[in-house]
Amino acid sequence: MIRFFAHGFRSIASGSIWYWLWVSFLLACSLIGLNAYAQQLAHGLGTTGMGDEVSWGLYIANFAFLVGMAAAAVMMVIPAYIFKDKEMHKVVIFSELFAVAAMIMCLLFIIVDIGRPDRLWHLIPGPGYFNFPGSLLTWDVIVLNGYLLLNLWVCYYVLYKGFKDEVPRRAFYIPVVFVAIVWAPSIHTITAFLFQGLGGRPFWN
Q: pLDDT tens across 87-138, in order?
A: 777 788 888 888 899 999 999 988 888 878 888 888 777 777 877 777 788 8
| Same-domain status, 78 and 120 | yes
Q: pLDDT tens across 35-77, in order?
A: 999 998 888 888 888 777 677 778 888 988 998 888 888 778 8
Instruction: Give residues with Cβ within 8 angstroms of 106, minimum separation 6.
Output: 63, 66, 67, 70, 144
| Same-domain status, 147 and 184 | yes
Domain that holds residue 140: 55-197
| Same-domain status, 70 and 29 | no
Q: Is residue 49 part of a domain?
A: no
| Same-domain status, 28 and 72 | no
| Same-domain status, 76 and 34 | no
Q: Which of 71-75, 113-117, 152-156, 163-167 has the highest mean pLDDT?
A: 152-156
| Same-domain status, 143 and 65 | yes
Number of domains the chain contains: 2
Q: Is residue 203 part of a domain?
A: no
Q: Residue 25: what pLDDT?
A: 97
Q: Is residue 101 part of a domain?
A: yes
Residue predicted with more confidence, 25 or 204: 25
Instruction: Give residues with Cβ within 8 angstroms of 148, minimum separation 6.
Output: 100, 103, 104, 107
